[in-house]
Homo-oligomer: A and B are copies of this chain.
Amino acid sequence: MAAPDRLTKRNAIRRENERLILAAAEKVFAEAGFGGATMQLIADMAGLPKANLHYYFATKEELYRKVVQQIFEIWLHAAKSFDKAAGPVEGIGAYIDAKMEISRRHPFGSKVWASEVMHGAPVIQDYLETTLRDWTEGRAAVIRRWIAAGKMAPVDPYHLLYMLWATTQHYADFGHQIETLNGGRPLSAQEWARAKESVKSIILRGIGASPSQAEVI
């Protein structure tokens, strides 16, 4: 039972199949919701027989949970930009950049997370109450410190964080609506850049931390 991580062909197959299944599941769960997704659809998209899915993931719930965990970890990782910053312009600016980039590259994961939370977080409630709560309180403390140091206006840290999440994830979760209003075409690279800049400039100025106003304060 030892050495389960050797680079044998079996392990490669297992890893590759799990990757295939998770990618297909992320897309199907995002597009159909948990209830609307079917194991058959996921199997077809992964190019595997349905029974094979149940070999790697015992139940639909187990597969779903893995998908949700993935995006959560990506978000947590993105938050590091927040910490190594000296002030709100760099910290929040980099955080917005990172979250916007995730919305662009992982729109399915973002939708699955949104769906999960909207339905009352039946699967990941424990994450909300532990990891997310701790993370949020930590970042709120950073913001309070910036406020105390006069680096930004005295805004409520929690509502600022909610605003950051809402605005950045909106570009993934409501991407279809944005695409429709964009003439039916997905945002181009330039349009993504413009979106990023718009969000950053409004929020940074909104908290009294925009670069141009830095001298004024």
Find out whether the CB atom of B31 lies under 8 angstroms from the CB atom of A33.
no
By the criterion of a CB under 8 Å from any partner CB, how many residues of chain A are at the interface? 55
Find out whether the CB atom of A205 lies under 8 angstroms from the CB atom of B153.
yes
Find out whether the CB atom of B163 lies under 8 angstroms from the CB atom of A31.
no
A109 to chain B, nearest CB (A): 12
Asked whether A111 is an interface residue with its Cβ less than 8 Å from the other chain, the reply is yes
Q: How many copies does the complex hold?
A: 2
Asked whether A117 is an interface residue with its Cβ less than 8 Å from the other chain, the reply is yes
* Interface of chain A: mostly helix, strand, loop or mixed: helix
When each residue 152-175 of chain A gets 1 if its CB lies under 8 Å from chain B and 0 otherwise, what string results?
010110111011011101110110
A108 to chain B, nearest CB (A): 10
6 contacts between A and B (CB under 8 A): A121-B177, A158-B181, A162-B170, A167-B167, A205-B205, A205-B208
| Residues of chain A in range 128-162 having any CB-CB distance to chain B below 8 Å | 128-129, 132-133, 136, 153, 155-156, 158-160, 162
| Residues of chain A in range 90-104 having any CB-CB distance to chain B below 8 Å | none
Find out whether the CB atom of B117 lies under 8 angstroms from the CB atom of A177.
yes
